Amino acid sequence: MADMLTGGCQCGAVRFATKLVGRGSICHCRMCQKAYGGFFGPLVTTHDGHWTRGEPKWFQSSNAARRAFCGECGTPLAYETKFGLELSIGAFDEPEKVAPEIQVNLSDRLSFFGELTALPVRETTDEWKDFMAGIHSNQHPDHDTEDWPVASNLEGREDDGTARY
């Protein structure tokens, strides 16, 4: 993979870049479930990853691993052990380029995980389409920016920076 892969947190305070990545995985361990607030942790090993904007905060999640996240918006960004750094697949600007290839720690896999793709799909209603059409995202775009946040992303915010709903 010769192209530079970039990514970062939801608010744009922390960004990263890497060229050399290993095999992507989804980890079912309980620590990843809690760190991501989801059913698994999607990670890919990086051999040259570096922070290009800001620095993440770190949480020592065990005696063997620490986890990086954005101190502003809370986005999970990385996992690090003595074996190296792994970046969160969903934090990449183009996550399709680092798709998972394996699953690990199956002993903690949630019992319903294998059935998720068989769940019924709710059709999108006109009311929901109208709601979605009116949303203005304050999320950082999926590409590097010189400055962030830009003034247009602060519209619709209270003086303390919180979004109004």
Give the pLDDT of residue 12. Answer: 93
> Per-residue pLDDT averaged across 120-146, rounded?
84
Give the pLDDT of residue 38. Answer: 93
Whole-prediction pTM: 0.81
What end-to-end distance do the CA atoms of the chain give, in Å?
A: 42
Q: For the chain, what percent of residues have pLDDT higher than 90?
A: 67
| Tens of pLDDT, residues 58-80 | 999 999 999 999 999 999 999 99
Q: Which domains does the chain have, with CATH numbers?
A: 5-111 (2.170.150.70)
pLDDT band of residue 3 (cuts 50, 70, 90) is confident
The answer to whether the CB of 85 falls within 8 A of the CB of 45 is yes
Q: Please state, in angstroms and rounded to a whole number, the distance separating the CA atoms of residues 100 and 42.
A: 7
Q: For the chain, what percent of residues have pLDDT higher than 70?
A: 88
